[in-house]
Structure 1
Amino acid sequence: MHVDQLIRMVNQMGSFFEAMPDRSEALHDLALHLKRFWEPRMRRELLAHLDAGGPGELNPVSAEAIRVHRALLE
């Protein structure tokens, strides 16, 4: 899957989880969603792209969820 599509999808999820009143729960739930429903290959591709400083901006909730719960996604 193209990394632009992955970024778009994770940003859509971030927008959804951003509405949750408990931010720490929202971040954890977003990371859990990625772990449960994204293939490992998709998660690896997104993380490798972000590590390489690739283009494509994550919204704040998505970026924080990935940063805080990275170990869960690897």
Structure 2
Amino acid sequence: MHIEKLVSMANDIADFFNAESDKEIAAEGVKKHIQRSWDPRMRKAIVKYYQDSGEGLSPLAADAVKKLMEMG
């Protein structure tokens, strides 16, 4: 899967959770969704992309990917 598609998917998930006023809870929701729903290769690719530049990720999506990265 192309990284552009993963970025778009992460941003779409973040758009859904963005309605949550507490952005920490929203980022946790995005992270959990990615953990549950994405194949390990997809998770690894988005983390690597975030580490390289993260360009195009919304702030909420980037925060969620950072949390995903921090958990190992």
TM-score calculated relative to the size of structure 2: 0.85
Residue 49 of structure 1 is matched in structure 2 by 49
Aligned to 2:61: 62
Q: Could you say which residue in structure 2 is the equivalent of 1:4?
A: 4
The higher relative CO (CA closer than 8 Å, separation ≥ 6) is in 1
1: CA distance, partners of 2:49 / 2:62:
13
Q: Is the 8 A contact 2:27 2:60 kept in 1?
A: yes
TM-score (norm 1): 0.83
Q: Structure 1 residue 69: deviation in Å?
A: 3.9
Runs of 4+ in 1 over 6 A off after TM superposition: none
Relative to 1, partners in 2 of residues 1:46 and 1:69: Cα closer, same or farther, differing over 3 Å?
Answer: closer
Aligned length, in residue pairs: 72
SS at match of 1:20: coil
Q: Please tell me whether residue 19 in structure 1 is matched to residue 19 in structure 2.
A: yes
The one-letter code of the counterpart of 2:4 is D
Q: Distance in 2 between matches of 1:53 and 1:60?
A: 13
Identity of aligned residues (%): 31
The RMSD of aligned alpha carbons is 1.6
Unaligned runs of 5+ in 1: none
> Structure 2 regions of 5+ residues with no counterpart?
none
The answer (yes or no) to whether the contact 2:47–2:68 under 8 Å persists in 1 is: no
